[in-house]
Amino acid sequence: MQHSASGCHLTQLYEIFLGSAITRSFFAIIIDMSSRFLDWLHQAEADLRHANNSLEAGDFEWSCFAAHQAAEKAIKATLMKYGSEAWGHTITVLMGNLTDQIHTPTQVLIDNARILDKYYIPTRYPNGFDSGAPTDFYTESEALQAIKLAEQIIEFCRDQINRPE
């Protein structure tokens, strides 16, 4: 059986390298991840609820971070649905990994991702600022915007996942 890089599916790769326990484990993880895209989308929606709950509690930094997490997990769900790898935390980069099978995100969604990416680290760690804690720096309007941007990305991902193949 011939195998070309462009025509080889994960299951074929798994069969080719079946002899190695390490390779079997690696491909089992990848195959398992690709079948769990709905779990990732479900968690994205839960993270969005957490962003709203944090907003209501006045924890604006956590609201921004949870909005980032919601968008990240929704993009990862979309990538997994179509068999692409979904590693890393930079939403802008993850969006760049969307394949031809998926409609290209608009520039607005890419800009949304760029804004949300800025909430990944400094929302949680005091050393992201010269002094003070993240809780001292984030505002209600930033949290509201982060939630809105994440909602738009999640809606895009939901549309891609539910699109007929």
User: What pLDDT is attached to residue 21?
Assistant: 55
User: What pLDDT is attached to residue 22?
Assistant: 58
User: What pLDDT is attached to residue 16?
Assistant: 53
- Phi, psi (degrees; rounded to nearest 5) at 118: -70, -10
User: What pLDDT is attached to residue 9?
Assistant: 52
- 1-36 pLDDT, tens per residue? 444 444 455 455 445 555 555 554 554 444 455 589
Domains along the sequence of the chain with CATH? 1-35 (no CATH), 36-162 (1.20.120.330)
User: What pLDDT is attached to residue 5?
Assistant: 46
Measuring CA to CA, how many Å separate 65 from each of 6, 20, 122? Answer: 38, 40, 9
Contacts of 116 by beta carbon, 8 Å cutoff, 6+ apart? 67, 68, 71, 72, 91, 146, 149, 150, 153
Segment among 2-6, 50-54, 136-140, 160-164 with least mean pLDDT: 2-6
- 69-120 pLDDT, tens per residue? 999 999 999 999 988 878 899 999 999 888 666 788 889 999 999 999 999 9
Pairwise CA distance, residues 152 & 154, whole Å? 5
Name the residue among 11, 36, 101, 113 with its Cα closest to residue 70: 113
95-115: b (≥16 Cβ within 10 Å) or e: bebbeeebeebeeebeebbeb
Pairwise CA distance, residues 69 & 9, whole Å? 29
Cβ(153)–Cβ(112) below 8 Å: yes
- 148-159 pLDDT, tens per residue? 999 999 999 999
The first and second tokens of residue 112, run together, are 């949304």
What is the pTM (predicted TM-score) of this model? 0.78
User: What pLDDT is attached to residue 28?
Assistant: 46
Per residue, the 3-state secondary structure of 21-86, as one string, reads: HHHHHHHHHHHHHHCCHHHHHHHHHHHHHHHHHHHHHCCHHHHHHHHHHHHHHHHHHHHHHCCCCC
